[in-house]
Amino acid sequence: MISIFKRCVLFSPCTLTLLSVILLINNQVSASSHPVSPDFRAMSTNSLVTPQWLIQNLNKVRVIDATYMPADAYAAEHIPGAAHYAFDSAYFKSEYIKFDLYPPEVFQKYVRLLGVNNNDQVVIYSRGPASGMMFASRAYWTFKVYGFTNVNLLDGGLDAWKAAGGSTDNKVVIPSLGNVDIRALNPEILANFEEIPFNHFAEKKVIGPNGFLSQQEVDAKIAKLGLTAGNQVYVACNTGIQASVIFTALERSGIKAKLYNGSMTELAYRAPELVNASGN
């Protein structure tokens, strides 16, 4: 088993944001595993859509605005017709976890209020940190962890949408009640405290000034780490939000990842001896 505690550095358009993100690698390489390279796509999932694509298909998809901060940002401006995915409603604060997951039947009620149907293609965007991808990536992972697979991210978020000529408004959106069926939580992309091996850290960058780096650039960074498609990777941060960006980038490059939802918040409560200010 190889365990590596990585530090993640993400770029937003105006600032450099330092995120403490765990990449814990459980080495599960088989004889048929291949190092990740630009030619390896057997397990990759390209979750991104461009602003140009969304402009052309806006009336064919269910658009979700997952902006979390600032609190009034969605009300002031959003893509026309976009429903607001409110973090304080979509999650709850449990004993150890700031953004804990509801039972599937509860989350189903919430997503139906957003107007999501079983046959919808959902496109999620946000704004702010990590070139607008941080909160959207968390919502994307959440939809997937509840079994909804027809979901995409708008690369570059609201800023990229406006730069491409997309319009915005501040109209109140009250969707018709959806009929989406939510499944049990998917253990293939959700990790809990008990299963994670903790160790040391390093650095990883996956975000550029306009959204995610290209898949080729991320592939090259992953290849330098010696990862293969047979590795099991665990990602985490402070509250399980920033790590969803890493989850999305790894997924696109064909690397299996589980997000540790409790992250450093839970770790500080349950195993404070593993947490220190210097990061060593």
Residue 110 · residue 91 · CB < 8 Å: no
8 is catalytic: no
Choose among 8, 213, 248: nearest CA to 141: 248
Distance CA 83, CA 54 (A): 15
Query: What angle, 0 to 180 degrees and rounded to 10, lies between the N-to-C axes of helices 215-224 and 243-252?
Result: 100
Q: Which residues pair with residue 228 across a beta bridge?
A: 35
Consecutive H or E run containing 256 = strand 256-260
Both tokens of residue 200? 């040391």
Residue 26, amino acid: N
- Find the catalytic residue in 25, 136, 218, 237: 237
Per-position DSSP letters for 237-266, written without gaps between them:
-SSSSTHHHHHHHHHHTT-EEEEESSHHHH
Name the residues annotated as catalytic.
Answer: 237
